[in-house]
Structure 1
Amino acid sequence: MSRRRKAEKREVLADPKYKSVLVTQFVNNVTRQGKKRLAEGLFYDAIEIVNQRTGQDGITVFKKAVDNVKPVLEVKSRRVGGANYQVPIEVKSERRVSLAIRWLINYARSRSEKSMAEKLANEFIQASKNEGGAVRKKVDTHKMAEANKAFAHFRF
């Protein structure tokens, strides 16, 4: 952590098609090796697949998926008197969104479908129904925080 001034948050521009900052954040996280156009294409294809499979608006399914994956609590290691404790803390709103996006992408990448667009679409659909790997990760994180509730007084 810097002892000087706090790092400034960069302004993220809304995505041109859906006018959503959340979509831009997601696309930026999917981007690899500077290929943002490819990542945008993957995301838009995934939204189209969601439209076809569910009959619902793809963006609303995506937003619901992100909301369902957002964690409320997480654990952080805290060293107290020579012992490490897993201390449960509340997650700030910006970190909630970034964790949800990261988990959705990671679990989509580990799926077995053919294309990345299909993987993303299926992860969105499952997460919007409170199923899938990303939601399981959130539940596991909450269970860890619940199990270590006894150490909450070490919060910093």
Structure 2
Amino acid sequence: MATIKTFFSKSGLFKQRICVIKSCIQQNGMSSYPSFYINPIYKKEEQEQLKKEGELSKLTHVPTRAALNDQTCSFTQDPDLNLFTNYCMSDGKKVLARSQVEQTLESIKRLQLEKYHKCKTDEDRAKIELNPKVVFHKAVENCKPILQLTPIKRGGVKYQVPVPITAKRAQFMSMKWLISAGKEKEKPVRFHLQLARELIDASNNSGRVVKKKQDLHKQCEANRAYAHYRWS
């Protein structure tokens, strides 16, 4: 045993292992990785960018943390899509919600391809977006409200006062409106197909959800006389 320790100490491997163990013990929280471990780069776009810049070869032998369950290079891997999946989830059925969102993206692709092949000119074809993720992001952005009405009581009377909302709240309302519009359908129509239609309409700045946002803004404009109650 003494000869083995002497060999490791001479080669420097034994000291290096001791430093790694100490760094693991000294870390705050429950992480099992030392502080010098880097986070994994799992997106293909980031890998290609690092390869073009010549930085990828420098990270070849750098210790890397293990990727999390949701850190994949899948096409559906997106922070907003993951959040949208959580909003679609009911009773903790995450697998079902994820499959519904994936089928929605597939339906968007199919519907857009049908429109693309029906177009007769290249100008009309250029206006059609075939990437379902781009359609999704456009739809969520077009449905985000700027103001909302909140009840404020003054002198025994409740007034609907228009107030600005945060970006996080606007994103939440946009996604919930889209999901609610997808559920308002006829019985033969599947949820993912109706949701795909609503997302396509919203990406073109039309449809029921965009109208709902515009109606809310009109109500806020009509109640702007009560806006001073927000500070009083």
Question: Normalising by the residue count of structure 1, what TM-score does the alignment of the two structures yield?
Answer: 0.86
Q: Percent identity?
A: 33
Which residue matches 2:142? 68
On the 8 A contact 1:14/1:20 being kept in 2, the answer is: no
* Contact preservation (8 Å) 2:144, 2:213: yes
In structure 2, relative to structure 1, the CA distance for the partners of 1:42 and 1:15 (3 Å cut) is farther
Residue by residue over 1:37-94, the C-alpha shift from the partner in whole angstroms, topping out at 9 and shown as x without a partner, is 1111111111111112114100000000000100001110100111111111001111
1:108 counterpart = 2:185: no
Does the CA-based 8 Å contact 1:77-1:85 persist in structure 2?
Answer: yes
Distance 1:140 1:15 in 2: 39
Residue in structure 2 matched with residue 117 of structure 1 by the alignment: 192
Matching of residue 142 in structure 1 with residue 142 in structure 2: no
**Structure 1, 17-26 or 140-149: larger mean CA deviation:** 17-26
Q: Give the Cα–Cα distance (whole angstroms) in 2 for the partners of residues 28 and 148 of structure 1.
A: 34
Q: Does structure 2 retain, via aligned residues, the 8 Å contact 1:88–1:145?
A: yes
Structure 2 residue 94 is matched with structure 1 residue 19: no
Partner residue, 2:86:
28
Structure 2: tracts of 5 or more residues without a match? 1-68, 114-129
Query: CA distance change for structure 1 residues 142 and 15 in 2, over 3 Å: closer, same or farther?
Result: farther
Tell me the amino acid that sits aligned with residue 40 of structure 1: R
Q: What is the identity, as a one-letter code, of the residue corresponding to 2:217?
A: H
Show structure 1 runs of 4+ deviating over 2 A: 13-19
Structure 1 residue aligned with 2:207: 132
Cα distance in 2, alignment partners of residues 14 and 90 from structure 1: 33
**Where does residue 85 of structure 1 map in the other structure?**
159
Structure 2 SS opposite 1:134? helix
3-state SS of paired residue (1:71):
coil
1:43 alignment partner in structure 2? 101
Matched, 1:59 2:133: yes
Contact 2:148–2:220 (CA under 8 A) maintained in structure 1: yes
Structure 1, unaligned stretches of length 5 or more? Answer: 1-12
Which residue pairs with 1:10 in the alignment? none
- Report the structure number with the largest CA radius of gyration: 2
SS of residue matched to 1:111: coil
Q: Residue 78 of structure 1: SS of its match in structure 2?
A: strand
Q: Structure 1: which amino acid aligns with 2:224?
A: K
SS for the counterpart of 2:160 is strand
Secondary structure class of the residue paired with 1:85? strand
Q: What count of residue pairs does the alignment treat as equivalent?
A: 144
Cα shift at 1:14: 6.2
Letter matched to residue 49 of structure 1: S
Q: Following TM superposition, by how much is the alpha carbon of 1:19 offset from its aligned partner in structure 2, in angstroms? A: 3.1
Provide TM-score, normalisation by structure 2: 0.59
Distance 1:45 1:15, change over 3 A: farther
